[in-house]
Chain A
């Protein structure tokens, strides 16, 4: 990703978050001029940033927002609630664009249409003219004819006759048109014949400007909004929208190359042109045209005559050009949506970098001391001092390495604010859609946790808050009847407890109803009525995390259907955390995530199988078992063993890496039993090894494709340690 886009993403995300929180604050205190000013400045700076990275669509959209804010600011009027909603909606679009940019490392596709939506949102009245007026469009064909080079890309021809007094209104028609979307060419002509210079009024505008634009009619309409009465538009039948913008250009270039294909190497050039043209056509979703071009290329190569290929490319261009154009149809080639964005940039406090630099210095000193010890070892008279010295140096290196690990971990930590700050807005919107009045109180947002954890908390927290709003918080009438304040309170709290980070979401709603949960669990076959009745309340409440459980009496817009709290538990466990729940009927529910502060250090148990060392994450191991061969039974194509009444499948570790499993001997089998989500699996190993704390690197290269492998690391003796990913293995 280029450094400008990287920096843009950093700044734009901060500005968007800032604008969002200021808008919400403004909603609570509508007359606050300082807040309005902050919001304006955030949008203004965001627009400027978009301009720097040439993201014209975003700048255009934000300009529309800025106009509304500037008007409110100038009039010293509070910003109406509906405008706050619109501003927030535009920030949603900005965030979506930023996500897309993070994923693809470049400006997002189709941004213009989205920008159009935002502009329309803020100026709905100016877009009533649905169809561009062709009026007396007879000027357009002549104009197009004078610009054959642009004929293929031009979508709209525009004619602008500015009012004679426009200069007095600080208008500059040429400068304005120069900013038109997709400007290809412009011409100026006198509106009335030029008078002799001596009688010319330099302040009266006497020009008619015509322009050819490569933008969509909608974009052009938005651009000319406000000057409609002086502008005539003529829509030119354009290429199908499904074609990537550059496809025509590329095909044009291929045709030019074909004109120079005589002489040595002609066959190679013909082949290259054919391949490029065919792949461009394929990329545009035109498989049949691509095939025709390939066939023609073969014919051209055989006869060393470019004519067949040239004709095929011409036909492809014309055929495609004849198809009806539609702005909404997404290009077939873009069907593969960008992957979920993975944030790759870290913003690090300078003090933390300084700490690392200092540590690097200390480690260099320790290295020198070790060099001194090596010299001692060569001197037989002084070698006796060596053991003590080595011991001391080991101790100091040990400390340094630990400090280094801490320092590295601290670089990876982020305050929970990073995820918390998105909720005020979401809670507001969700509460509004449910007709409930809710206040969100956020505490401890400065608490830090590993970046991986902070970034993965959004989904599960959103889910818990949704549930609280939907099922926990009573409708206003019910709250009134229970003598509760009409406005419910949701608390989002974070705190550091030792090596853990505790994140809680608490509501003051109706609390969980043990009887209802038992009934629902029984109805879903999660246990017999007797077992459920005997279950303590605490355990019964835990059932809401069971897969497929939902007690929603009605399916609402907010919680939706089918996604239960089980997804929350899965997500938190994936992060190495646990979810617990407390609920007091009538008083509310608290859902608590207890998460590790750092995910980097992984404690492993080492095992050996078929000459390979594997690391099994300690936190997933239940026990190690020595089992008799006779107790291992075939199960499907696999093997399994019954442990404490449960059938546990046995996984052959070597098979995981595509190695053949060694034939089983007669001796007892060593099994490591591990669990994940209540599902158990046993690994047969030759030897149990020691334990190890490891800073785990994600798997790279070939290993990255192997299911069940979390990563690999080099051990002191040069052997490769493969760390197992229990989730992947059990998926």
Chain B
């Protein structure tokens, strides 16, 4: 399919440790590069500055939380694959993520969960490009 294409995943988490962990998992997925942001403002700035194909957002961040950021990114890129990450599976968060068309992933993220998200994202991006 689109092996040559390099997609970019925006990883938003106020914890550098958490971003490092996602980065490590991401390195097992060729074709994907990473952009990082430590909060919602940085994330919006990054998404304006460079093309971002998908985003993984921590729910629990100071300032605007991951869901608020997801809504904002949704406004900028209506079809961008988004995932909300949280250590707590609160039904309310899961439902609000789903309403925004975002996937809910539990934290810490597993390699399988990320790969699945990226696979779906690639499929969606592939059809969008075709």
Q: Of B20, B62, B87, B88, which one neighbours A4 at CB under 8 angstroms? A: B20
Q: How far is the CB of A57 from chain B (nearest CB, A)?
A: 15
Give 12 A-B pairs besides A48-B18, A48-B107, A51-B108 with Cβ atoms closer than 8 angstroms: A4-B17, A4-B24, A7-B16, A11-B17, A44-B60, A44-B88, A47-B87, A48-B108, A49-B18, A51-B107, A52-B17, A52-B18
Digitize B53-71: 1 where CB-to-A-CB distance is under 8 Å, 0 elsewhere.
Answer: 0000000101000000000
| A393 in the interface (beta carbon within 8 A) | no
Inter-chain contact A4/B60, CB cutoff 8 Å? no
Q: Which residues 21-70 of A have a CB within 8 angstroms of B?
A: 41, 44-45, 47-49, 51-53
Digitize A639-678: 1 where CB-to-B-CB distance is under 8 Å, 0 elsewhere.
Answer: 0000000000000000000000000000000000000000
Q: Which 3 A-B pairs have the closest CB atoms?
A: A51-B108, A52-B21, A7-B17
Q: Which residues 100-120 of B have a CB within 8 angstroms of A?
A: 107-108
Q: Which residues 603-650 of A have a CB within 8 angstroms of B?
A: none
| A8 in the interface (beta carbon within 8 A) | yes
Bound form: Cα–Cα A52–B21 in Å:
7
Interface centre among B15, B17, B18, B62 (most CB of A within 10 A): B17
Inter-chain contact B16/A11, CB cutoff 8 Å? yes
| A145 in the interface (beta carbon within 8 A) | no
Q: Which residue of A lies closest to B88 (CB)?
A: A44
Chain A interface SS verdict (over half): helix
Residues from chain B with Cβ under 8 Å of A45 in the complex: 14-15, 60
| A3 in the interface (beta carbon within 8 A) | yes
Bound form: Cα–Cα A48–B14 in Å:
12
Q: Which residue of A lies closest to B16 (CB)?
A: A7
List A residues at the B interface (Cβ < 8 Å): 3-4, 7-8, 11, 41, 44-45, 47-49, 51-53
Q: How far is the CB of B59 from chain A (nearest CB, A)?
A: 10
Q: How far is the CB of A421 from chain B (nearest CB, A)?
A: 19
List B residues at the A interface (Cβ < 8 Å): 14-18, 20-21, 24, 60, 62, 87-88, 107-108
Residues from chain A with Cβ under 8 Å of B24 in the complex: 4
Residues from chain B with Cβ under 8 Å of A41 in the complex: 60, 62
Bound form: Cα–Cα A41–B88 in Å:
11
Inter-chain contact A7/B20, CB cutoff 8 Å? yes
Q: Which residue of A lies closest to B14 (CB)?
A: A45
Bound form: Cα–Cα A439–B107 in Å:
40
Residues from chain B with Cβ under 8 Å of A49 in the complex: 15, 17-18
Bound form: Cα–Cα A52–B109 in Å:
8
Q: Which residue of B lies closest to A4 (CB)?
A: B20
Residues from chain B with Cβ under 8 Å of A7 in the complex: 16-17, 20
Residues from chain A with Cβ under 8 Å of B16 in the complex: 7, 11
Inter-chain contact A48/B87, CB cutoff 8 Å? yes
Residues from chain B with Cβ under 8 Å of A3 in the complex: 20
Inter-chain contact A11/B87, CB cutoff 8 Å? no
29 A-B residue pairings within 8 Å (CB atoms) = A3-B20, A4-B17, A4-B20, A4-B21, A4-B24, A7-B16, A7-B17, A11-B15, A11-B16, A11-B17, A41-B60, A44-B60, A44-B87, A44-B88, A45-B14, A45-B60, A47-B87, A48-B18, A48-B60, A48-B87, A48-B107, A48-B108, A49-B15, A49-B17, A49-B18, A51-B108, A52-B17, A52-B18, A52-B108
Q: Which residue of B lies closest to A8 (CB)?
A: B17
Residues from chain B with Cβ under 8 Å of A53 in the complex: 17
Q: Which residue of B lies closest to A54 (CB)?
A: B108
Q: How far is the CB of A389 from chain B (nearest CB, A)?
A: 47
Residues from chain B with Cβ under 8 Å of A11 in the complex: 15-17
Residues from chain B with Cβ under 8 Å of A52 in the complex: 17-18, 21, 108
Residues from chain A with Cβ under 8 Å of B88 in the complex: 44
Bound form: Cα–Cα A52–B108 in Å:
6
Q: How far is the CB of B90 from chain A (nearest CB, A)?
A: 9
Q: Which residue of B lies closest to A48 (CB)?
A: B87
Q: How far is the CB of A436 from chain B (nearest CB, A)?
A: 37
Inter-chain contact A51/B87, CB cutoff 8 Å? yes
Residues from chain A with Cβ under 8 Å of B14 in the complex: 45
Residues from chain B with Cβ under 8 Å of A47 in the complex: 87
Q: How far is the CB of A390 from chain B (nearest CB, A)?
A: 48
Bound form: Cα–Cα A8–B107 in Å:
15
Bound form: Cα–Cα A272–B90 in Å:
54
